[in-house]
Structure 1
Amino acid sequence: MAAAACGPSGPATPPGGRDAAALAQTLSAYAVEFLRRNPTTNTYLGGAGLDPSLREVDGMLRDHSAASIEQEDRWLADVSKVLAETPTASLSAGARIDRDVALAQIRFLLRQHQVRKYQERALDTYVSEPFRALDWQLQGMTETGPGAYGTADEWTLLVRRVNAIPTFLAIAQDQLEAGVKANRTPDRRMLQRDGLNTSEANARYFAETLPKLASERASGPDRDRIVGQVRDAGTQAAGAYTKFREFVATTFFDNTSQGKVKEAFASDRYAMGQEEYNWALKNNFHLTQTAPDLYEQAWPIVEATRTSMIDLAREIGRRQGWLLPPDGPSDVRFVFDELSKDSPKSDEEMVAWYREAAFRLVDYARKTGMFEVPADYQLEVTETPPPLQASIDGAAYYPAPPFKTTGVGRFYVTPTHNDRAALQSNNRAALADLSAHEGFPGHDWYYKVLTGSRGGISPVRWLTPGAVEDSSSMWEDSMPAEGWGLYAEALMAEPQPGSPGGFYTPEEHIYQLQGQLYRDLRVRIDTGIHTGRMTYDEAVDLFSEIVDFLPGSCGSAAAKKLDAKRASCEAAERAIFRYSKWPTQAITYRLGKDQIFAMRQEAATLLGPKFSPKNFHLAFIRQGTIPSGYFRDELLRELQTP
């Protein structure tokens, strides 16, 4: 379905007759209305490029009020009824997939609103959504001159959105107060980090950073007016965030300076629960396994990866002439400690090293012919902005809006604030695999190929129900996208013509295996903490011990005395915090990667000497950001078609 044909009037009649045409019109209208009701997602995807009527939505924020959600649920139920009653016999395989995807999205949203009532505790959504909307809006602005961005109309929409923040946060407060009355409140860690810390960071951003950006980027005869309007709107937004922070502080805390949560809210409240987790696996990811299945299956996989790391550590030790300890885990730790000596001296140098590693990967792919990389391919690596630092541990990638022709994707690297131990964790050997994941051939390449193919991908396959990236998210898109990112890391370790050892040096390869290890461990931890099989603190200890090969409890006095263990425990705790508030997202990396490898092997077996990894990769990416359980059979059929 061509993206240009997805306005309210619906696309041209597709093959398959009346049923197919009716379905196409229903899905087109659903996608447009979805984006109208979710302005941040609309900006993220560049909705105006899909339907011009969505342009004004970039001046809005989502209405999370109880009345609006009730009305939305009626609309979703109506669409679901139409889709469920659509005959499927005459539909193409792609159309049937699109229908099934939309039905799963609607089931998720209705369950989120009516069963989980998550809108009454979605604190991180409320705190982060306006900033994310503005950040993506700034990324997508038109270049109007050297160093200048944003037309007068684009800046007007941005100002309108910033002006909407006080009302947005007032509604958020209403929802959270309803949650307090129903004993449905955020976890104490989210209260501190998102409710207090991120609110404070956002207040500074809107009071200081955004006006400065407007002053630097706005141009033309309207510049002074724009800068003044951004400053005034930013001041109001900053005040609203300060007021919202005060609400969180007085409602949930006895003493904010000491982080002392009131007794009524002090217990752990992060666990999703086994019933909801299993429901999400089936509905959101199209999986047949249950949380207990995944929990039990994960441990042998973790142990196998650790064994590979021990073997490689011994090989590195022999090559370097190092005298290694007698036991395997200590061998790995010894190698890590030695490699950490070649580390950046500052955050600025760390970001530069990531940028250098990313472009080494691009050059390697060109030389080996793994991918057809255009001569004008660009990759932007930059420091994570402060309001996103609470959610991005290490690095992350934010793509350009796929429905628009402007904007750039960004590979964000989160600063360590020049912490020596954290910089050592980002040593020279440690950067390559993360650069492969977030940059090339991982997320940046994935989204550039995907965006280039957008005309053949139904808009339904781009939607991110719940939120783009916070605790309200469905995470439907994470299975293919993060699966591809982890697959890309492993792919660069495979032999290529003229490079029998793959891209990585042995020293880089051991960090690639470590990256694989913690994605393997995530399946164990995420299913564990959300089904009561593991406590939060047990997960932190396990992460540090298994991933960093540093035994001992993170709560012990000894852990605070060793720089490496302290840094490991801090990183582990940040990781577990993320998993605690984003249930099911952490498992998508390994499960998604495994699905890609399995499909590649099936395709190679079916096609024999005609199999082309390059063609397989393109065909996979062009299916869109939906779990491969929907399209596996169709992809294999497509690859066999001459």
Structure 2
Amino acid sequence: MKHFLLAGCLAAAWAVPAAAQPTRANAPRAAAAASSPLAALFINYWEEQARLFPLQATAQGDNRYNDQLPNDQTQAFRQQLQTMYQRYQTQLRKIDRTKLNANDQTSFDIFDYDLAMSLAELQQPHWMMPFNQVSGLPSSLGQLGAGTGAQPFKTTQDYRNWLGRAHAFPVWADSAISNFRRGMKAGIVLPKALVVKMIPQLQSFVVTNPTANLFYGPVAKFPAGVPAAEQPQLVAAYRQAIQQDLVPSYQKLAQFLETEYLPQARASSGIGAVPGGAAMYVYRVKRATTTDKTPAEIYQTGLSEVQRIRTAMEQVKQQVGFQGDLDAFFVYMRIDPKFRPFKTPEEVLAVYRGVLTRISPNLPKLFGKTPKAGFEVREVDKFLEASASASYSRAAPDGSRPGIFNVPIPDATQYNVTRGMDALFLHEAIPGHHYQIALQQENTSLPKFRQLGGYSAYTEGWGLYAESLGKELGVYTDPYQQIGALNTEIHRAIRLVVDVGLHTGKLTREEAIQYMMANEPIDTQRATAEIERYMAWPGQALAYKTGQLKIQELRTKYEKQLGSKFDLRAFHDQLLAGGAMPLAVLEKTMDAWAARQK
């Protein structure tokens, strides 16, 4: 059930949420309403999974296991998970669902779904590809150890906790290499195009001068909570950990990939090319979309959506008086200097911050409930920006860290305004992921697995739906803002085509890049990074459009059913009220809400 909120749109190695804000008066009542056996089951599960997934516990503000890395590269660990999931599934199904209240029935359904999907996950051989160029422990360890992520560095104990994780990394790295080797024997390997990106990423951590190493950051400047008398000892310990644990492990991983793994990596682009890959992809599609849609159905939806949005783009092109076809219009928006007005990253960030100022007066018209958590816009860490997409990192539950909209800006002078900056803010920040995730984790009336859980089809579907609210929020007021919003939407429609195409053998990496560039104004570098992300995460990119289309379908359905009784603000509040859930469960709860409105 590895679907918990970590860092933005991309939550786990293959996969990111929201809900209603309880008042002080109603939260205790809601918690007490949970049936005792069901509530106890949820509490026990949450405690057990926190021990098994300590990095996720840290990200969720549970600091009890901050000195541990997950022992997730072994068969024994996978067997432990299977035993646990089966045990909870057996216990859950002993509870009479018909005797539960409506909210508990929803929790029952979500938990049952989670357990079934988690058991199915364990039948997949993805463990033979332990990490890739966009996710996995080697990169997340850098984010944690730099002192800018979820790992706290406030007290002496915090500093010692991190050393525990650093000391455990060599064992994890050795186990990962072993799993890569098992994948080589089975023919389940990553594409060469991804491996060549992973090698320099790992090499960037191989900085032998401790004071110049990323992991030295926390001891370069201590907080007030660490006594001066203890600081020299910590500095020495961090220098030793960098030199003896971290640098050698990253060096070993890089060398292994370059000399042993790369020669056996595959030339193919999609997961369908590996033994059993077709079934692996069907599972990934089901997990990402929370539907039973087939890859073929999703592919056809993608083609249809791309054509619909291209037609809308043609209308904008005519509106601005551009002479030439749509392809020429894309080239014009890619290369004309007026669309790249920035000189520094700060200028890019200032535009995103300005979106919030423009939409703030209209937010109360669309949302009755807003989160308490703070919010910031930040540039992505330099070591990640070459392969990173814009993302959202959730706020710490205790308020110690705000929600963060992370923006990669490898070269500010090449940052193009027609990529849809307004729409991207609405998706990743407000009212997209920040409202959704912060409201959900602030809702203490939900069991923990719902309060801190997520499903990409719901969460990314909400983010893409949030983009469609631009005109109602007071943005998209000129044609190029409109084309920017259409650019972001067609980008998600294109994903349905290229993701399925890549993983079912319809498209190569190069053909997918060309298809993307032919249907949106995107440069080669960004298109390549996007396509390689889909290669690394089969199916994940399908969640956005699938979820958005379902939310829009529900809104249209209730507008027709309720007529003058339809209240858009109430619809949005209810949509977020129960937190992230599979789309079928969401529709069931929303149908019940609509029935009450009548």
Give TM class, smaller chain.
0.7 to 0.9
Identity %: 20
> Secondary structure of 1:71's match?
helix
Which residue identity is paired with 1:99? F
CA offsets 1:476-506 (integer angstroms, 9 cap, x no match): 5211221111111111134x7xx6xx55322
State the match for 2:7 in structure 1.
none
Which residue identity is paired with 1:71? Q
| Aligned: 1:40 with 2:55 | yes
Residues 140, 408 of structure 1: 8 Å contact kept = no
Which residue identity is paired with 1:117? P
State the match for 1:334 in structure 2.
332
State the match for 1:28 in structure 2.
43
How far is 1:21 from its partner? 2.6
How far is 1:303 from its partner? 0.9
| Aligned: 1:219 with 2:224 | yes
State the match for 1:516 in structure 2.
489
Residues 289, 546 of structure 2: 8 Å contact kept = no
Q: Summarize the alignment of residues 65-144 of structure 1 with structure 2, pairs less than 5 Å apart.
A: 65-113=74-122, 115-124=123-132, 125-134=136-145, 138-139=149-150, 141=152
- 352, 362, 381: which is aligned to 2:377? 381
Which segment drifts farther, 516-525 or 382-391? 382-391
- 406, 410, 418: which is aligned to 1:416? 410
Which residue identity is paired with 2:262? V
How far is 1:604 from its partner? 2.5
Which segment drifts farther, 296-305 or 89-98? 89-98
> Secondary structure of 1:96's match?
helix
Which residue identity is paired with 1:411? F
How far is 1:621 from its partner? 1.4
State the match for 1:357 in structure 2.
355
| Aligned: 1:406 with 2:415 | no
Residues 80, 106 of structure 1: 8 Å contact kept = yes
- 70, 73, 87: which is aligned to 1:62? 70
Residues 252, 265 of structure 1: 8 Å contact kept = no
User: Which whole-Å CA distance do the structure 1 matches of 2:444 and 2:594 have between them?
Assistant: 20
Distance change >3 Å, CA 339–CA 641, structure 1 → 2: farther
Q: Summarize the alignment of residues 254-333 of structure 1 with structure 2, pairs less than 5 Å apart.
A: 254=259, 261-262=262-263, 264-268=264-268, 270-272=270-272, 273-282=277-286, 285-317=289-321, 324-333=322-331
How far is 1:67 from its partner? 2.2
User: Which whole-Å CA distance do the structure 1 matches of 2:461 and 2:375 have between them?
Assistant: 20
Which residue identity is paired with 1:519? R
> Secondary structure of 1:410's match?
strand
How far is 1:589 from its partner? 1.1
Which residue identity is paired with 1:128? S
How far is 1:85 from its partner? 3.7
Q: Aligned pair count?
A: 563
| Aligned: 1:543 with 2:498 | no
User: Which whole-Å CA distance do the structure 2 matches of 1:231 and 1:345 have between them?
Assistant: 40
State the match for 1:197 in structure 2.
200
| Aligned: 1:483 with 2:456 | no
CA offsets 1:87-121 (integer angstroms, 9 cap, x no match): 322123333332333333333333333x3222221
Distance change >3 Å, CA 100–CA 414, structure 1 → 2: same
How far is 1:455 from its partner? 1.1
How far is 1:363 from its partner? 4.5
CA offsets 1:290-309 (integer angstroms, 9 cap, x no match): 11111122112101101101
Which residue identity is paired with 1:42? A
How far is 1:140 from its partner? 6.9
How far is 1:348 from its partner? 3.0
User: Which whole-Å CA distance do the structure 2 matches of 1:486 and 1:62 have between them?
Assistant: 32
User: Which whole-Å CA distance do the structure 1 matches of 2:326 and 2:149 have between them?
Assistant: 49
State the match for 1:180 in structure 2.
184
Structure 2: gaps spanning 5 or more residues: 1-18, 23-28
Distance change >3 Å, CA 230–CA 516, structure 1 → 2: farther
State the match for 2:434 in structure 1.
444
Distance change >3 Å, CA 211–CA 576, structure 1 → 2: same
- 439, 448, 460: which is aligned to 2:449? 460
Distance change >3 Å, CA 251–CA 82, structure 1 → 2: same
| Aligned: 1:168 with 2:177 | no
User: Which whole-Å CA distance do the structure 2 matches of 1:336 and 1:170 have between them?
Assistant: 44
Residues 433, 511 of structure 1: 8 Å contact kept = yes
- Higher RCO (C-alpha under 8 Å, 6+ residues apart): 2
State the match for 2:392 in structure 1.
397
Structure 1: gaps spanning 5 or more residues: 5-10, 49-54, 142-148, 318-323, 465-475, 549-566
User: Which whole-Å CA distance do the structure 1 matches of 2:434 and 2:211 have between them?
Assistant: 28
User: Which whole-Å CA distance do the structure 2 matches of 1:451 and 1:101 have between them?
Assistant: 16
Residues 529, 580 of structure 1: 8 Å contact kept = yes
Distance change >3 Å, CA 230–CA 398, structure 1 → 2: farther
Which segment drifts farther, 539-548 or 600-609? 600-609
Which residue identity is paired with 2:544? Y
How far is 1:399 from its partner? 0.8
Which residue identity is paired with 1:533? K
How far is 1:217 from its partner? 5.0
